[in-house]
Amino acid sequence: MDSNKKPKNITKYVLVSIIVIAIVAFAIYMITNLLQKPADKVVIEKGTVSEEESTQGYVIRDEEVITGQNYKNGMLQIKTEGERVAKGDPIFRYYTNNEQELLKQIQQLDEQIQEAMENENTQIFNTDIKLIEEQITEQLNNLYGLNNLQKIKEYKKEIDDLITKKAKIAGDLSPAGSYLRSLVEQRSNLENQLNAGSEYVNAPRAGVVSYRVDGLEAVLTPNSFSSLNSDFLEGLHLKTGELVTTSAESGKIVNNFQCYIACVLSSEEAKNAVVGEEVTLRLSNQTEVEAEIEYTYHETPETIIIVFQINNAIEELINYRKISLDVIWWQATGWKVPNSAIQYKAEDLAYVVRKRSGYSDNVYVKVLKQNGNYSIIDNYTYSELSEKLKELNIKEDIETRPTLSLYDEVLI
């Protein structure tokens, strides 16, 4: 019996010894690590902490689509995309049925008029003509080195208009029945035919001109906020960041002072948002604009429809109907530390462990703002900390209390 028990006791002894050795080795390893690197440290620096929510927004504008009678003829843009106009300004015109033929004849006459002016035996001296020639030279100089196609078109049109004006003055000053005068009269007749057959469309009000028409101008309006819901917005089948196509039949005037962005949100900040509250929106091009909450609708316990009003960067949004953006609910700047550096002695009484000159001190701090990762902190004043400790029924001598300074190290 004794001989059988002896091997069993040895086995137990060996197993216990192995476990003890493993525990001791692990303890030594942990202690060594702590001695070598007690904890991670972070330096107190100034920074910004914010609470943000990424989402998609539907752009709602105060806009009016303009379509004339001859929209099937195609249109010529008079004002450029994004150009501001006054009420009554011509925006575009529709082509006439025989416009190409008339334009071809006018171009031929322009060439003949220019040749006739160069070959005129009697040179015409007139201060108006001299002034127009100087303007033509100036516009030609402006063309040199230009890469902007729109600007080149504008200068070319101005030069063509000046040449036509010069030809008319020269024709009027030419003797009756002269070849030059006859050519100018023919051109005027063709120009009158062209203008008489064209339908000009004018701005019904002041604003910004756009030719990007998507058919939602009368659907998404500043008067339709109450009809907004998730199903309605998703049912529009819009792609985020997709450009609205340019129309060949219509244009529109857009209010350039304000527009709106409707979003479906779910954060706690969104659920607690109120009309009139001001936030910041970061657009997809990283532009940050100030916004005001214009409308809220708690659709479900988890989602809320919010309409933001903005007064800047409106021209940049004309090209789009649905965009990606970030709602910045709040931003705070100050001493920024990771949340993992903050500990609590009691509820609502935070402190950090300051490491200075080899010594560690627990420093009470106010947590001013906090998101999921970082906090903005500051020192308590003596009276603030006294009141806080009194509220929490904590008795502690704070006459020589430590405080934080910029660039102090705190443990994580």
pLDDT tens, residue by residue, 247-301 = 989 999 999 999 999 999 999 999 999 999 999 999 988 999 999 999 999 999 9
Residues 327 and 229 placed together within one structural domain of the fold:
yes
Residue 335: pLDDT over 50: yes
Kindly state the average pLDDT of the residues 122-149. 69
Phi-psi region of 61 (alpha: psi -120 to 50; beta: other; left: phi over 0): beta
Q: Residue 149 has what pLDDT?
A: 64
Residue 399: pLDDT over 60: yes
The answer to whether 182 touches 112, Cβ cutoff 8 Å, is no
Kindly state the average pLDDT of the residues 28-41. 60
Measure Cα distances from 94 to 28, 58, 102, 144, 357 in Å.
89, 32, 15, 32, 81
The Cα–Cα gap between 353 and 374 comes to 16
Domain assignment present for 381: yes
Q: Residue 2 burial by CB count (10 A; 0-12/13-18/19+): exposed, middle or buried? A: exposed
CATH code of the domain containing 399: 2.40.420
The Cα–Cα gap between 100 and 108 comes to 12
Q: Residue 123 has what pLDDT?
A: 53
pLDDT digits (tens, 9 = 90+) for 122-133: 455 567 667 777
Residue 34: pLDDT over 60: no
The answer to whether 303 touches 266, Cβ cutoff 8 Å, is yes
pLDDT digits (tens, 9 = 90+) for 358-393: 889 999 999 999 999 999 999 999 999 999 999 999
Residues 302 and 236 placed together within one structural domain of the fold:
yes
Burial 25-58 (b: 16+ CB within 10 A, else e): eeeeeeeeeeeeeeeeebebeeeebbbbbebbbb
Q: Which tokens is 143 given?
A: 């063309």
Which residue, among 254, 329, 344, has the nearest Cα to 293 in the 3D structure?
329
The Cα–Cα gap between 77 and 242 comes to 23
Residues 328 and 342 placed together within one structural domain of the fold:
no
Q: How many residues does the chain have?
A: 412
Amino acid at 101: E
Quote the number of domains for the chain. 4
State which of 333, 359, 388 marks the end of a domain. 333
Give the distance, in angstroms, between the CA of residue 161 and the centroid of all CA atoms in the same chain: 39
The Cα–Cα gap between 75 and 71 comes to 7
Q: Which domain holds residue 184?
A: 96-197
